[in-house]
Structure 1
Amino acid sequence: MGVFLIAAGFPGTDPGDVLRHTVEVVEAAERAGFDDAWIAEHHFMTYGVCPSAVTLAAVALGRTSRITVGTAVSVLPAQHPVALAEQAAVLHHASGGRFRLGVGRGGPWLELEVFGTGLARYERGFPEALDLLCEALSGRPVSADGDFFRFREVPVVPPARMSPVVACTSDATARLAARRGLPMLLGMHVGDEEKADMVARYDEGREGVGRPPHLREEDARPAHIAAAVCHVADSTARAVRELKEALPRWLEPGLAGYVPVDGRPRPRRDVPAYVDLLCRIHPVGSPEHCVEKMRATVARTGLRHLVLMVEGTGSPARTLETVARLGAEVLPALRSA
């Protein structure tokens, strides 16, 4: 069980305060007994005000002693995979192995222009970048002679043997992760049926593929991770009401920050309908309701690693209260089952 932190920029909040509070939530999650915390990365928008998940993860690792901290996700098309591998290796060693790297394809957004990586890296270069990242995290020297990366062999210093988690929102990405034996991170925008279907697509992609060197022989498949919105209150009605009042204030301006770099039409969401969906498919409610919903997710999908987005009210105090109540009233019931 983990927490998933977007560093959401609710209207009227100061980004610096949001970042400090995000680290405080990681500390609270450690006290509450969570296993890990995952930090999102966004650029040039208020939806999430953390532009470097690796940097904020480093701060959180320095303020904790037990909990694992990961990125969910570092946007791979916006940066050089070897540079990202170097940063991951530093955190891996400095934290005693408590860092996990999650990467994703992202979207056709403005960072591709600002950072000079280009639209082609997003549209065609993700498999090459992912392979190069994995090679740079293999503990061996790395070189490249591909369409997007070409350089002589160099040692990666410090060397580290790590495997990234891959955010998957399409069959193509799920099959890509499957062929490389990498675990998936499944987003909070889909419910149990869609998550189960993605796991099935992954398993199909694994057929006929040999065991990757980082995957233990006794593992049937890598340990996938599923994100979900979570909010706890004394009653389910109150929890739902609080999110339905708060989430639109964040989502309406936040989603507008997704600006396509090439002028293509931007996908639109019906925000009230989206909030209603999130409250219905995720553990939003009383502690008993949250336990029931998470048990149902595990039973339907087979996924056994859940990470919970707990910032939905935009209130630091309510977020910390939700984390504490999850630790006291939800996690013990789930683990005893």
Structure 2
Amino acid sequence: MRFGVFLPVAGFPGYGQGETLTAAVDAAVAAERAGFDDVWIAEHHFMTYGLCPSATTLAAYVLGRTERVGVGTAVSVLSSQHPVALAEQAALLDQVSGGRFRLGVGRGGPWVDLEVFGTGLDRFENGFEEGLDLLVAALGQGRVAADGDTFRFREVELVPRPGRPMRPTVAATSPGTARTAGARGLPLLLGLHVGDQDKAALVAAHAEAALAHGHDPAGAAHVAAGVAYVADTTAEAVAVLRASLPRWLGPGLAGHRPVDGRAHVPRDAGEYADLLCRLHPVGSPGHCADTMLATIERTGIRHLILLVEGAGDPALTRRAIARLGAEVLPAVRSAC
């Protein structure tokens, strides 16, 4: 079993951006102290849902502030950056951290980022697989060239090369992306917006594609994200998050702006908060442990990463991390 914390670097009202970034780093340090195995940092642009525009940059800083935990990106958005440049960053962090860096990548969305960074909507809609293949080749072979629809360049050598074989984890919200990862033997990162049944279906789609392409699906170290908050009683924990989450989710989700004319209607923040509390380990220590064990049993995923910023208060976040480490993780580990 592996357990991590997932840090979107959530922009709650009432806190300055510097305070929020500092609080995220403090949460990462607290997670190491509490016995978590890793820390995963999200990338977002031009929105308060997440205040980190470069997950690799903040991961580098967190690697320097910690000694033991793995530090990863959940995720670096592949549609808005060059895959070989991302491979260079990943290799660099792998080398200087002694192998503690983890790379997670995703397609992203049809957002204004594509316009600002000049990659365009076609990269999002049609270029993901080509970019993913270049990223995997650069990290695995150390040399890479391209003659595709999106990328064309002569062969180059990756400098530095990773200190070990690196295989990115791929965020998937659809069976198509799960199959894309499975065909390449890459593990999945499954989001917090769906429950165990949907996660299990994506794992099954991945396994089918993996087998068809000669990969052993049992060897895929999938990662599942969820929200976590622990209090003395489940009612207390749920009340805290139902009050706090909409203050973040409302303005945060409204920050998604399509690059084209397609309509985008954000989720209702209150309903989404209720859903997250129902799906994930939000409750007493016993309830949290039981919920995590149920996810492990239903999905087969043995690496859970927990969004711990939901209370919207850095002190409460650090307290929840400490309680999860002391009162929940040992119970889950001992039962697995």
Q: What TM-score do you get using the length of structure 2 for normalisation? A: 0.97
After TM superposition, list the pairs within 5 Å mapping 1:273-288 onto structure 2: 273-288=271-286
Q: C-alpha displacement at 1:138, in angstroms?
A: 1.0
Q: Please tell me the residue identity of whatever aligns with 2:261.
A: G
Residue equivalent to 1:249: 247
Instruction: Quote the RMSD (CA, aligned, Å).
Output: 1.0
Does residue 162 (structure 1) correspond to residue 166 (structure 2)? The answer is: yes
Residue equivalent to 1:214: none
For structure 1, list consecutive stretches of 5 or more residues without a partner in the other structure: 212-216
Does residue 52 (structure 1) correspond to residue 54 (structure 2)? The answer is: yes
Q: What TM-score do you get using the length of structure 1 for normalisation? A: 0.97
Does residue 204 (structure 1) correspond to residue 208 (structure 2)? The answer is: yes
Q: C-alpha displacement at 1:139, in angstroms?
A: 3.7
Q: C-alpha displacement at 1:209, in angstroms?
A: 1.2
Q: Please tell me the residue identity of whatever aligns with 1:203.
A: A
Dislocated runs of 4+, deviation >6 Å: none
Which one is further off, 138-147 or 46-55? 138-147
Q: Please tell me the residue identity of whatever aligns with 1:304.
A: R
Q: C-alpha displacement at 1:89, in angstroms?
A: 0.5
List per-residue Cα deviations over 1:173-230 (Å, max 9, x = no partner).
Answer: 000000000000000000111111111111111222123xxxxx7x723110000000
Q: C-alpha displacement at 1:16, in angstroms?
A: 1.4
Residue equivalent to 2:298: 300
Count of aligned pairs between the two proteins = 331
After TM superposition, list the pairs within 5 Å mapping 1:80-91 onto structure 2: 80-91=82-93
Residue equivalent to 2:107: 105
Q: C-alpha displacement at 1:19, in angstroms?
A: 1.0
Does residue 173 (structure 1) correspond to residue 153 (structure 2)? The answer is: no
For structure 2, list consecutive stretches of 5 or more residues without a partner in the other structure: none
Alpha-carbon distance in structure 2 between the residues aligned to 1:254 and 1:187: 17
List per-residue Cα deviations over 1:263-301 (Å, max 9, x = no partner).
Answer: 210133122111111101100000010001001111111
CA contact (8 A) 2:39 2:71 kept: yes
Which one is further off, 201-210 or 175-184? 201-210
Q: Say if 1:332 and 1:223 are closer, same or farther in 2 by CA, change over 3 A.
A: same
List per-residue Cα deviations over 1:9-39 (Å, max 9, x = no partner).
Answer: 0112211111111111111100000000100
Q: Please tell me the residue identity of whatever aligns with 1:181.
A: G
After TM superposition, list the pairs within 5 Å mapping 1:209-228 onto structure 2: 209-211=213-215, 220-228=218-226
Residue equivalent to 1:232: 230
Residue equivalent to 1:271: 269
After TM superposition, list the pairs within 5 Å mapping 1:22-33 onto structure 2: 22-33=24-35
- Secondary structure of the residue aligned to 2:43 is coil
Alpha-carbon distance in structure 1 between the residues aligned to 2:290 and 2:282: 11
After TM superposition, list the pairs within 5 Å mapping 1:309-320 onto structure 2: 309-320=307-318
Alpha-carbon distance in structure 2 between the residues aligned to 1:220 and 1:245: 40
Alpha-carbon distance in structure 1 between the residues aligned to 2:299 and 2:212: 23
Alpha-carbon distance in structure 2 between the residues aligned to 1:221 and 1:67: 22
- Secondary structure of the residue aligned to 1:323 is helix
CA contact (8 A) 2:281 2:292 kept: yes
- Secondary structure of the residue aligned to 1:253 is helix
- Secondary structure of the residue aligned to 1:239 is helix
Residue equivalent to 2:334: 336
Alpha-carbon distance in structure 2 between the residues aligned to 1:208 and 1:313: 44
